[in-house]
Amino acid sequence: MDIIEINSFLELVERVTKSYNCGHWVFRGVPDGQNHKLIPSVGRLKKFKEDYIDFRLNEEELLNKFKLRSFGQLKHHPNDNWEWLTLAQHHGLPTRLLDWTTSPLVAAFFSTKPEFEGDGELKECCLNGGAIYAIHFCEYIDTDDFPNPFEYKQHGFFYPPHISERVSGQSGLFSVQPDPTEEFQIGYEKQFELEIIEKIIFSQEVAKEIRQALYFLGIRQGNLFPDLDGFASDLKSQIVLADCHGRHNKWMPSFQNEAEFP
C-alpha cells in the first residue's frame, strides 16, 4: 500500500484531477487515518473470531435472522444474497462487505463526516487525521454468475441494485473477500500484483478544512442521505458551518482569500 500525505483541500483536488482521472477508480473514506483497518464489520466481531470454525455458520445465521425480521417491512424484496447483504450493510448489520464509492468527494465526506456534541457544536475531527483509500479496478463481479457471495473466492467489487436512495446517492458500491477477518489489501495485492492500493492521509486541521469546503460545495448530509434523518442532520450542520449573516466563516478553507473573493 502506498501512503500519500496531503496538506490542504486544494492538494486533494489536485491529486484527484491529475492522478484519478480514469473512471475505474473507487474510494473509501475513514475518519481515523491511523487506526482504521480495511476489515469488514463482521470480521471485527470478537465473538465470531473466537469461534472461527463456525464463522461462516454464524455469519449466515445473522443474515437469515435479518431476513426474517425485515421481510414484512420491505416494499421490494431482495432477489439473492448479494442484494440481502447490501441491504443489511446499509442498515448497519455486520457483513463481509466494505463500502466504497466512485466519488472521491463522497469518500472525503465520510472521512470528515460532521458529528455533534450535546450542545449542538461540531465534534472535533479525529486527532489522528483522516484517510481516503483509492483503488484502480476494472473488472466488476457479475453477481448473476456467482449466486452465493459466501462462496466467492476472490477479492472484488460489485455494484448493488438501487435498493436504497442512499446507496445510489453516494455513488456506492461494495467489495467482498474470501476471508472477512483479514485486511482487504493483503489478499487484494496478492491477487492483483500490479494494482497497488493508495492511502491518502491528512491531519486533523486539514480534515476541518475539507469538511468545511465540502459543505459549501454541496457534499453534505442532506444530499447523501436523502431522507428525514439526513435533512435534519444537514440543518444542524448549517447552524455551525454556515455563517448566514457574516461575510466570512472562521473555518473557511485556506484557498478562499480576498484576491479570489473580492
Contact predicate 196/1, CB 8 Å: yes
For residue 97, what pLDDT is reported?
96
Tell which residue, 132, 86, 129, has the closest CA to residue 107.
132
Distances in whole angstroms, Cα of residue 252 to Cα of each of 71, 105, 258: 46, 17, 12
pTM: 0.85
Cβ burial, residue 73 (10 Å; 0-12/13-18/19+): exposed
Q: Residue ranges of the chain with pLDDT lower than 70?
A: 49-53, 162-170, 226, 243-262
Other beta carbons less than 10 A from residue 131's beta carbon: 24
For residue 259, what pLDDT is reported?
45
For residue 6, what pLDDT is reported?
97
Q: What is the pLDDT of residues 161-204, one digit of tens each?
A: 766 666 666 678 999 999 999 999 999 988 887 777 999 999 99
The pairs formed by 158-163 with CB atoms below 8 angstroms and a separation of 24 or more are: 158/82, 160/82, 160/83, 160/86, 161/79, 161/83, 161/86, 163/76, 163/78, 163/83, 163/86, 163/87, 163/90
For residue 251, what pLDDT is reported?
47
For residue 106, what pLDDT is reported?
94
For residue 180, what pLDDT is reported?
93
What is the rounded CA–CA span in Å between residue 74 and residue 238? 33
Other beta carbons less than 10 A from residue 249's beta carbon: 16
Distances in whole angstroms, Cα of residue 162 to Cα of each of 70, 147, 224: 18, 18, 14
Contact predicate 126/204, CB 8 Å: yes
For residue 154, what pLDDT is reported?
94
